[in-house]
Amino acid sequence: MRDGRRPEGADLTVGRYLDDWLDGKASLARSTRHSYEEHIRLYLRPGLGHLRLVDLRDFHIEKLYAAAMMIGREPKGRPSPLLTRLLEVRRDNPEHRRPLSATRLRRVHATLVSALNSAVKRRKLRYNPAEHVELPKARRVRPLVWTAPRVAAWQRNGTRPSPVMVWTPQQAGAFLDFAEADRLYPLWHLIAHRGMRCGEAAALGWTEIDFEDDSIYILDNLPGPSSSADDADIDIYEDPKSEGGHRTISLDETTRDVLAAWQNLQNEERAVYGTAWTDTGRVFTHPGGSELTPDGISQRFERLVARFATVRREHAEHGWSVEQLATRHRMPAEAIETALDFGPLPPIRLHDLRHTAASLTYRATRDLKIVSELLGHASVHFTGDVYTSVFSDADRAAAKAAAEIVPRRRPPGARPHAASPSQEDPSATQSEIDRPLPDGPELDL
């Protein structure tokens, strides 16, 4: 400081301060605390934790970020001590050894900035050294709909036009028909129609479902072990939430009945297990009542989508009948018939099923604000920016409706055309065809 004194806690290390700072955040949502803990454990403590807080400078942070961007990439020579420390804390988790994305780095940086801002307010630092650190620009990836041409290209070469793909209503319906006998069908139905996040569905308790009012109250978002893992070279849009992510979701009659039937099934399982039943109060559980994890839910969804393709492949390659396939996959014949009759079902992530719900809601309402509130976004502008490409097919219907308002004596495509010279005289030469038309009255344009 100007009088020569160091800020209080001059011997406090960055690692110790971050631990104290996180311990003092008593009102954090569980998902936010999980993210902070992970950022500190995987990046900030191994990269900066040994430094004294008062000695922390912007170049320390810049070196940390440069080393972090080398994770999962081919090293040029021997790893630096800083990169070695970052790799050491990832030794037992391959998921965290994937390359770091710019979006992920920005999240880590936001955690550090917040922690150091608190240090400034508490007079442990004179200024925030992370405030003006430059970050790589995140590449935003827009969701795209699995249109017929994109599905055909995917079948030919196996590539996706975007990391974030969205099913059409027909594709979503085919999946739900295929998965109707799956134990977690009510969960797939709920996300596809009402757009809940996977963590929100996993954390949902029966006390938050009001069958009389046909409403669900979203109060929590359960983090998963790999929910915020480094996402390679893919920078997906941030998914900003409204205050605490709390919101009310209305239930349609079908979804309400699906959840009510699921509650009856869970009660039957509770009776079978008796005293061995684990009463978590959660809506979606294992048969014994224990909690589901978002990671496990996502993996089960991906296996179902893959099974749809497997059924079609086995039928084509081996000629197996519906009955044989139903026995092999332990699925009803109706589900097998759905896969064989519908055609190819391109892959999406479970989170993308939430985008499908957004598309369905927009098709039905044409109201972006309703979609934004359903998804729990902080801003309707964010919703519109992200889903521009997803909603374009629905907007084409609006364009058609607008065109039909204009009265015409005959459809534009049916209006008469003057015969070409070649039609009038098949022997006409090209020079005659290209001859300018005779002058007519000038048009005042």
| Residue-wise pLDDT tens digits, 276-312 | 999 999 999 999 999 998 889 999 999 999 999 999 9
Q: Does 394 have pLDDT greater than 80?
A: no
Q: Does 165 have pLDDT greater than 60?
A: yes
| Residue whose token pair is 């605390």 | 33
pLDDT at position 259 is 96
Q: Does 442 have pLDDT greater than 90?
A: no
What's the average model confidence in pLDDT over 56-78? 89
CA distance 23 to 81: 29
pLDDT at position 49 is 95
* pLDDT tens profile 329-384: 999 999 999 999 999 999 999 988 988 888 888 888 878 888 888 888 777 776 77
CA distance 358 to 387: 8
pLDDT at position 244 is 43
Q: Which amino acid is at 61?
A: I
Q: Does 215 have pLDDT greater than 60?
A: yes
Q: Does 234 have pLDDT greater than 50?
A: no
pLDDT band for position 33 (cuts 50, 70, 90): confident
pLDDT at position 226 is 44
pLDDT at position 136 is 85
What's the average model confidence in pLDDT over 248-260? 93
What's the average model confidence in pLDDT over 102-110? 90
| Residue whose token pair is 């040029």 | 76
| More confidently predicted of 47 and 441 | 47
What proportion of the chain, given as a percentage, has pLDDT over 70? 78
Token pair of 275 as six digits = 């005293």
pLDDT at position 41 is 94
What's the average model confidence in pLDDT over 197-201? 90
| pTM recorded for the entire structure | 0.71
| More confidently predicted of 49 and 376 | 49
Q: Which amino acid is at 239?
A: D
The domains located in the chain, with CATH, are 14-121 (no CATH), 144-214+251-399 (1.10.443.10)
Q: Does 313 have pLDDT greater than 70?
A: yes
State which of 23-37, 186-200, 402-416 shows the largest mean pLDDT.
186-200
What pairing do the DSSP bridges indicate for beta strands 144-145 and 209-210? unpaired
Q: Which long-range contacts (CB under 8 A, 24 or more apart) does 174-180 make?
A: 174/308, 174/338, 174/339, 174/342, 174/345, 175/304, 175/305, 175/308, 175/345, 177/334, 177/335, 177/338, 178/304, 178/308, 178/335, 178/338, 178/339, 178/345, 179/304, 179/335, 180/332, 180/334, 180/335
Q: Does 320 have pLDDT greater than 80?
A: yes
Residue 212: how many CB atoms within 10 A of its CB?
A: 5
pLDDT at position 423 is 52
pLDDT at position 393 is 62
What's the average model confidence in pLDDT over 48-69? 95
What proportion of the chain, given as a percentage, has pLDDT over 90? 53
- Average pLDDT of the chain? 83
pLDDT at position 391 is 67
Whether 63 contacts 82, CB under 8 Å? yes
Q: Does 42 have pLDDT greater than 90?
A: yes
Q: Which amino acid is at 23?
A: D
What's the average model confidence in pLDDT over 220-225? 63
pLDDT at position 360 is 82
What's the average model confidence in pLDDT over 198-208? 92
| Range scoring the smallest mean pLDDT among 94-103, 159-168, 193-202, 436-445 | 436-445
What's the average model confidence in pLDDT over 23-31? 82
pLDDT at position 4 is 44
| Residue whose token pair is 């996993």 | 202
Which three-class secondary structure state does DSSP give residue 236?
strand
Tell me the β-bridge partners of 342: none
Q: Does 426 have pLDDT greater than 70?
A: no
| More confidently predicted of 326 and 407 | 326
pLDDT at position 233 is 35
Q: Does 46 have pLDDT greater than 90?
A: yes
Residue 321, CB-side half-sphere exposure with 13 Å CA sphere: 3
Q: Is the dihedral of CA 196, 197, 198, 203 positive or negative?
A: negative
What pairing do the DSSP bridges indicate for beta strands 144-145 and 165-166? parallel
